[in-house]
Structure formats: structure tokens, C-alpha cells
Amino acid sequence: MRPFRFRTFAPLCAAALAGAFAASCRRDEDQAAKARLFAPEQPHGSVAAAADKLDARALGESAAASDRVLRMPRAEVSARLGSYKAEARVQFAWFRGPGLPDGGAEVQLSEESTLTQAAGGDFTARLANDHNEGFELVWVGGEAFERGLFGPYHKRRTDRTDPERLREQALAALPTFDRLARGLKLALDGEVRVEGRRAYKYKVTGWGARTGRDDDRNLPPVQYPEPAIAPAGKEGGPDPDTARRLDLFEREEPVAVSGSVVVDADTAAPLACELKGHFRVPGPQPADATAELNLHAVLTTTELAKDLKVKAPAFEPEASVPHAVKDPLRFLGKAAQPGAPSTEDATEDDDTDQEPPAPR
């Protein structure tokens, strides 16, 4: 009987050891994942694309070349140029049906943005408009500090902020104008100097160089939610607000564009632009009012290859907030149920709000 007992006990022991080993591996993997999530890191961007050799003289000959340069992500621009300071000014005015009985509508806005990019990847970005709205972001040493225009800086966790997206938003004047124009048509207008560097100046000659742009990323089709109440056979679609935005983008069309673009000769990175355009969005029905947009965008780049430094600003710690998830009854001011475990004292094992140390 002893061999039989041994054969019965051995698989159980092996299964227990395997389970303990798997649980230990899961805990190690969880800790490693948290360490990667909360560790300081540089913002992800199109830095790998900066190794591509681009012909700065081909923008007037190839729509693909102009698309590659005019819509170049700011992360790639920074990787190509190194340190620099960029400033952008945008003015736009929307008009809708000035001849309508209600007088139509008009919306005007002016924005100014500044980007100071250091060679090591640190940067500061500021965007403000004439309605006293905007933000300031400092990315230094793998840490993000953010504030409104008139408030104090706060340190943001890397899993709750997106420095690259905010940098793109601050300096989006040129790619946004190119998208509205459905692709600018350019003609080479000679060689110029910008901060002592050779550059090519292009004159805008038209629009519609790219009527459409296919997404070359391997993404699944968009899955819209099913409506709560829908007739039989009707598929789901976007919510009304998203549908209006998509419809506006599809029906928007340029009417007139003019201006110039300056591109660095060595890296093909865009350095400057001054663009004016008039765009319109016809109504869904012929009798509907047409919305019109006047847009003026200016971009300048200075301090190229200078020794720019970015310092971490003075910041205020985040305010401590009661956590309803940890202790909902105490959060609501109610007594705990008899026999329920007390959560008044936070345990060291509960690390939902603790950031693990960076991996060594």
C-alpha cells in the first residue's frame, strides 16, 4: 500500500507546488508591470521615423512627400532638429447663415502656443487663447508637471497624462490647416536661411492634393454600440454628437487658400509657415445654411541647436481625497454593518494608490 500512497500523494504535491509557483510568477509579473507603468519614461512618439531620409526639394513634385512633411508629428520634428523653440498663432472665425432670420451665428477665437524643446527630450509647452483658457506642461526627467493658465503646477503620474498628445495639440497649426485643405499643393519658391540653416521656401498654389488618406495601420473596423431601442435590422452607429463631427469632416471643403511653407534643407522638418484659408461646410439639405470658416495660421522656429534647458517647476502636492472605494460606509457617514471587516485603517498590502519604485 505504501507505493500506492506515494503515487497518490506525489501528483497532489506536484500540483500544489506548480500552483504556488504560478501564483508567485503572477505576483512577480504584476509587480513588474506596475513598475513599468509608473516608472519615469520618455513619451512614445515617431522617433523611429526620424531615421528616414526625406528629400526637402520634392514637396512640390509629390503629394506623398508633402503629406509626409506637412503632417510630421512633433515628436519626429524634435528628433530631427534637436533643440529649438517654436511659436504658433492661429486665428479663426466661424460664420453660419448671416442671412437667416435669427441673424446666424459667429464664433471667433485666437490662440498662441509656445514649445521649448531641449535636445535630451525634455520640453515645455504652453497654449493660451483670448478667452483666458489654456494649459502649460513641463516634461523633464521623465516626469510631467501640468497646470492651467492661472493655477499652480501639479505633478502628474505618467499613466494619467499624455505629454506627446499635449505637445501635438499645442503645435498643430500646420497639420490641421493641411487636413482642412485636403492636402496643400506646393511649388518651390527658392532657398532661404533660418537661424543660419539652409531651408527651402514653398508657395501654396492650391488644395486637394489628397482627396483621401487611407490609414496604413493594421486596425480593426470601428465597432459602434448598439442603440438601446432600434428597429429590427438597424445596426448601431455613433452617438449624435460624434455623428455631427464626422459629418462635418466629410462635408467640409476648401474654397481658397494661400501662403507659404519653409522646410529645413537637411532634415525636411517644417520650420515656418504663414497660411490663410477660407473653408465651408454645406448643410445636409440644399435649403440649409452653409457654415464658413476663415483661418489664419502662423508658425516660426528659432533657437535652433541652442543649449536649451528645461527645469522642473515648483509644484503643489495633490490634495488628499476620501476614497469611497476603500471605505464607502465611512465615506457616506454611515455606521459599518455588524461583523463587517473594518477598513478604517489602511493596510500596507492595499497599494492601489501607491506607486511602486522604478526598476533598478
pLDDT (tens digit, 9 = 90+) per residue, 247-259? 888 888 999 999 9
> Could you tell me which residues come within 8 angstroms of residue 242 by beta carbon, excluding any fewer than 6 positions away?
none
**Mean pLDDT, to the nearest integer, of 132-158?**
89
Instruction: Please report the sign of the dihedral spanned by the C-alpha atoms of residue 51, residue 57, residue 63, residue 66.
Output: positive
Label residue 281 by pLDDT band (50, 70, 90).
Answer: confident
Residue 67 has pLDDT above 50, yes or no: yes
**Mean pLDDT, to the nearest integer, of 158-181?**
87
Neighbouring CB atoms inside 10 A of 349's CB total: 5
**pLDDT computed for residue 44 by the predictor:** 47
**Mean pLDDT, to the nearest integer, of 208-225?**
68
**pLDDT computed for residue 86 by the predictor:** 96
Residue 346 has pLDDT above 50, yes or no: no
**pLDDT computed for residue 134 by the predictor:** 92
Specify which residues 84 forms β-bridges with. 117
Percent of the chain with pLDDT over 70: 68
Label residue 343 by pLDDT band (50, 70, 90).
Answer: very low
**pLDDT computed for residue 177 by the predictor:** 95
**pLDDT computed for residue 326 by the predictor:** 55
Mean per-residue pLDDT over the chain, rounded: 79
**Mean pLDDT, to the nearest integer, of 156-178?**
86
**pLDDT computed for residue 235 by the predictor:** 65
DSSP code per residue over 292-351: EEEEEEEEEEESTT------PPPEEPPPP---TTT-HHHHTT-PPPTTPPP-SSPPTT--
254 close to 179: Cβ distance less than 8 angstroms:
no
For residue 330, which of 346, 314, 316 has the smallest C-alpha distance?
Answer: 346
99 close to 106: Cβ distance less than 8 angstroms:
no
Long-range contacts of 147-153 (CB under 8 A, 24+ apart): 152/314, 152/315, 152/316, 153/313, 153/314, 153/315, 153/316
Residue 331 has pLDDT above 80, yes or no: no
- Return the higher-pLDDT residue of 349 and 140: 140
**pLDDT computed for residue 300 by the predictor:** 96
311 close to 140: Cβ distance less than 8 angstroms:
yes
Q: What is the pTM of this model?
A: 0.71
